[in-house]
Structure 1
Amino acid sequence: MESVQELIPLAKEMMAQKSRGKLVKLYVLGSVLAFFGVVLGLVETVCSPFTAASRLRDQEAAVAELRDACEQQSLHKQALIAEGKAQEATLCTRALSLRQHAS
């Protein structure tokens, strides 16, 4: 059915042929559901730019959180590497000082 104007003559013709009432009810129900589908589609189309903007903001916030976490992890790794180098330097100087006294 392309338009509502076609539904009314169809219903009149079905009633003139003495079709069962269930069949007419089925066509009316299908038409009402199609109408609600069109209305919901229009509402979704109108509201979609607003929801897309909020999704974009949420996505940007998530990316910022990941970036901060990566930076903190890299700073932590650098601190561990620097700490390890300091311990190695301490161990090397101790070993050299022990050798000087041993000889």
Structure 2
Amino acid sequence: MENSGDIVPFMKEVLKEGPSRNMVKIYALGSALTLLGMVGGMVEMILLPFSGDSPADGKQTAELFMDKKRRERLLL
């Protein structure tokens, strides 16, 4: 399905046939994976401020930015 216009006819066809047992299993699996992805994303967003990957304060960030600008000027 290339665009969202294809989804409506596809869903009409699926609903016309009626849900089979295998189709319900696939929908349930997809829904469970989606829910796990959403929960994982929320946990990551909540724990992101506590990770030590980024500089702790703005001063360190500013120094890194200034060092980058100095290197660019030296290369020119």
- Relative contact order: is structure 1 or structure 2 higher (C-alpha 8 Å, sep ≥ 6)? 1
Give your verdict on TM over 0.5: no
TM-score between both structures, scaled by the size of structure 1: 0.35
Larger radius of gyration: 1
TM-score between both structures, scaled by the size of structure 2: 0.44
